[in-house]
Amino acid sequence: MSSNTPTTTTPVTSLKRKLSNADLAGSHSHVKSRELKRATTVNYVYQDEEKQGSLKPLNGFVTPLLTDMYQITMAYSLWRNHRHDNPAVFDLYFRKNPFGGEFTVFAGLEEVIRFVSDFHFTQSEIEHVRSILPDCDEGFLEYLSKLDASKVSLYAIQEGSIVFPRIPLIRVEGPLAICQLLETTLLCLVNFASLIATNAARHRLACGKDKIMLEFGLRRAQGPDGAMSASRYAYLGGADGTSNVLAHCFFGVPVRGTHAHSFVTSYHSIDDLPESTVLDPNGKTHDLLKLALKYRDELEFKTTVLSELYAFLAYARTFPKGFLALVDTYDTLNSGVPNFLCVSLALHEIGYQGVGIRLDSGDLSYLSKESRKMFKKVGQKYGIDYFDKLQIVASNDLNEATINALNRQGHEIDVFAIGTNLVTCQAQPALGCVYKLVEINGQPRIKLSQESSKVTLPGRKLAYRIFGEAGHPLVDLLVIQPHHTNGDKDNGSAAHVQDEIPEAGKRVMCLHPFEEQKRVLVTPSSVVNLHKKVFDQGVVCEPLPSLSDIRTYCLSELGKIREDHLRPSNPTPYKVSVTKNLYDTLHGLWLESVPIKEMK
């Protein structure tokens, strides 16, 4: 952002949570009438102070008990029936892009890695499981007390990537019971994060690359947890800053803010401005009120609301380097903007520059254009070039459709401050990621449905993104990736045959998973393997990137996608295909699993 941005502080290094085992101390969950409260203050460390292998979830609520009850009952049944250690593979993916669009931003991976890395049941949590399963075998509780993710591996797409339906965002491999216990928490950590990031990316596209987009939704967010997640992932998806001070403290998101209507209406008379002087950059004292009234007379702004002028002067003398005024408290064009100009001229005379105005009501297209005309007229009158470029910030319950409409109408808005519709995702409340078993004991598994969109793609898979000559992605191709462990026996099925990996310059057949006639031959100019191992049996494979780095990567990837896939109206669906080998495996299992009906 330019030097004429609203007042801010320098972003700090991201803060990470460092939890102690005492976080849930004092829980006596078997006493059903008691409510658990946090007994101790949570300790935090800076990201660069965090040691590899000591990762903790960012949110204190993210524990093994942040799960659905049926995960606990399934784990108990698996343990009772000696199936808890069977090797299993699960895919976490979504079936349909949100907001009527054709792309999604993948987010939440860092929190997934942190949760899995730290996965363990505390003694108080074991006691809580005992309270909800009072008749369970003590051996199961002993099993849970020793359970961790030391036998779990995660393969994932890079966080911040542009992703599409059916492509596994995360592949989870490990003993069946713990993989099952991870399901609900992983879905919780990915669903909202990806939805917010995608919503932010869509708003970013609507605003345009040359505009500033701010997230101002804290007061309308879904509680404190939703607010922090929304600020984090809105920034990841393209927001330039937030009003949320705690998000700045924790995640290093740039923070922005000016004043509210209540600040303006709190001023009534000159008595509310007992001091009107301000020091210029050289330390000399000036009467800002006297200067502003002089310009008010010269410009013949005789009908402006004086109490509003007093409020602006009070704010300007507090922040002479960051004066940005909310101008619609009484009358935007007949009072707010003229009063702002009088104060800005006074600041200019003593060596400062005003920043701009915020519009929070009315016809934003018209008001922004008229305000810009006034800026230019006054700038020309006094020979001040930068007045042409004073910022115009717009808020007023903005959403993607409103911003697109403003673009069609024409406007002079520089900064879009988006609140409710960004952080609550009013256009769509949930993404709908699912978590499905695709392999057990080395054998592929399939879930069937009368809706083809709900049929799972079996087996261990890798996704390759195939790029065309123009440098845009053309298709994501899913290939089978068999694993050969000592216990695997090759039964001759397609799932145990190594799929051919797509290569640049080598033509490859890409098939629709359910409609055989939909197929295409593609000669890649380049190929990217989307999946990499991020967690390997208790070890985080690579250092976690900073939030700022993920955001930069996200915006870079967004720029590679063809515009027709990104457009808000009637976007072109992106192709997600399978190899012939995977197609045959899918349909072979489908036929094997469907009972043959008998007609009489």
DSSP state of 269: S
Does one domain contain both 446 and 576? yes
Residue 530 lies in a domain: yes
CA dihedral 286, 292, 297, 300 (to 10 degrees): 160
DSSP output for 133-156: STTS-HHHHHHHHH--STT-EEEE
Task: Say what the pLDDT of residue 29 is.
Answer: 41
383 & 266 share domain: yes
Residue 10 lies inside a defined structural domain of this protein: no
Q: Which residues, 6+ apart, have CB-to-CB distance to 240 below 8 Å?
A: 1, 212, 213, 214, 254
List all residues 6 or more positions away from 125 whose beta carbon is below 8 Å from its beta carbon: 24, 27, 63, 64, 65
Q: Are residues 446 and 387 in the same domain?
A: no
Q: Does 57 map to a domain?
A: yes
Domain count, the chain: 2
| In-domain check, residue 557 | yes
What pLDDT, on the 0 to 100 scale, is given for residue 52? 59
The pLDDT of residue 39 is: 61
286 with 350, same domain: the answer is yes
Residue 459 within a domain: yes
| Distance of alpha carbon 464 from alpha carbon 479, whole angstroms | 8
49 and 167 housed in the same domain: yes
Confidence of residue 548 (pLDDT cuts 50, 70, 90): very high
Q: What is the pLDDT of residue 337?
A: 98
Q: Are residues 352 and 457 in the same domain?
A: no
372 and 432 in a single domain? The answer is no
pLDDT reported for residue 489: 44
- Of 394, 415, 446, the one marking the end of a domain is 394
**Residue that is last in its domain, among 394, 416, 446:** 394
DSSP state at residue 509 = E
Report the range of poorest mean pLDDT among 115-129, 443-457, 507-521: 443-457
pTM metric for this prediction: 0.91
pLDDT confidence of residue 494: 46
Residue 356 shares a structural domain with residue 454: no
pLDDT tens-digit profile of 382-411?
999 999 999 999 999 999 999 999 999 999
In this predicted model, which residue has the larger pLDDT, 211 or 490?
Answer: 211
**SS3 assignment for 200-265:** HHHHHHHHCCCCEEEECCHHHCCHHHHHHHHHHHHHHHCCCEECCHHHHHHHCCCECCCCCHHHHH
448 and 308 both lie in a single domain: no
Residues 172 and 285 in one domain: no
The answer to whether residue 21 scores a pLDDT higher than 70 is: no
Asked if residue 200 is part of any domain, the answer here is yes
Q: How confident is the model at residue 14 (pLDDT cuts 50, 70, 90)?
A: low
pLDDT for the residue numbered 27: 40
What CATH code is carried by the domain that includes residue 290? Answer: 3.20.20
pLDDT score of 450: 77
Enumerate residues 6+ apart whose C-beta is below 8 A from 323: 312, 315, 316, 343, 344, 347, 352, 354, 355
Percent residues over pLDDT 90 in the chain: 82
Q: Report pLDDT for 32.
A: 53
Residue 23 pLDDT: 42
Quote the mean pLDDT of the chain.
91
CATH of the domain at 476: 3.20.140.10
Looking at residue 488, what is its pLDDT?
44
* Residue 186 in domain: yes
176, part of any domain: yes
The confidence score (pLDDT) of residue 398 equals 96
pLDDT of residue 15: 54
Q: Which helix (H) or strand (E) holds 297?
A: helix 288-298
pLDDT of residue 44: 66
List the one residue out of 258, 162, 262, 163 whose CA is nearest residue 214.
Answer: 258
Q: Are residues 437 and 352 in the same domain?
A: no
Instruction: Report the pLDDT value the prediction gives residue 321, as an integer from 0 to 100.
Output: 97
What is the predicted pLDDT for the residue at 465?
Answer: 98
Of 394, 411, 446, which closes a domain?
394
- On the question of pLDDT at 415 being above 90, the answer is yes
- The residue with greater pLDDT, 35 or 176, is 176
Which range of 43-47, 247-251, 368-372, 585-589 scores highest in mean pLDDT? It is: 368-372
502: pLDDT strictly greater than 90: yes
Domain that holds residue 375: 258-394
Q: Which region among 53-67, 72-86, 115-129, 413-427 has the lowest average model confidence (pLDDT)?
A: 53-67
pLDDT greater than 60 at residue 34:
yes
Structure confidence at residue 22 as a pLDDT band (50, 70, 90): very low
Specify whether 352 is located in the same domain as 272.
Answer: yes
